[in-house]
Amino acid sequence: MQWLTILRDEAMSRNIDPAGISLIVALLLVGLSPTISIPLEEEMVEPCNGLSENCNHRYTEVSYPETHNAHSSSDEGYNFLAANHRQNLTLQWDAGYRAFMLDIHHSRYSESLENTSFCHGTCSLGSQNAVELLSVIHQKMNSSTRDVVTLLFEVHVPYTHIEYILNMSGLMEKVHTQTLGEKWPTLTSMIDNQRNLVVFIEGGFDPQYPYLHNFVEHGWTTNYAEKNPEDMTCDVHRGDASQPVWHMNNWLSNERGTSDWTRAYIVNDYDFLLDRSLDCWELHGSKPTFVAVDWWTDGDAVNVTRTLNLMNHWSDEIPLRAATDSK
Average pLDDT for 50-69: 98
- Give the pLDDT score at 32: 43
CATH architecture of 52-309: Alpha-Beta Barrel (3.20)
Q: What is the pLDDT of residues 129-156, one digit of tens each?
A: 999 999 999 999 999 999 999 999 999 9
- Give the pLDDT score at 38: 41
Calculate the average pLDDT of the chain. Answer: 89
Average pLDDT for 183-206: 97
- Tell me: pLDDT of 248 over 50: yes
- Give the pLDDT score at 108: 86
- Give the pLDDT score at 16: 54
- Per cent of the chain over pLDDT 70 is 85
What pTM, to 2 d.p., does this model score? 0.85
- Tell me: pLDDT of 23 over 80: no
Given a contact cutoff of 8 angstroms between Cβ atoms, the answer to whether 176 and 197 are in contact is: yes
* Domain edges within the chain: 1-38, 52-309
- Tell me: pLDDT of 308 over 70: yes
- Give the pLDDT score at 40: 43
- Tell me: pLDDT of 10 over 70: no
Average pLDDT for 260-273: 97
Q: What is the pLDDT of residues 197-218, one digit of tens each?
A: 999 999 999 999 999 999 999 9
- Tell me: pLDDT of 34 over 60: no
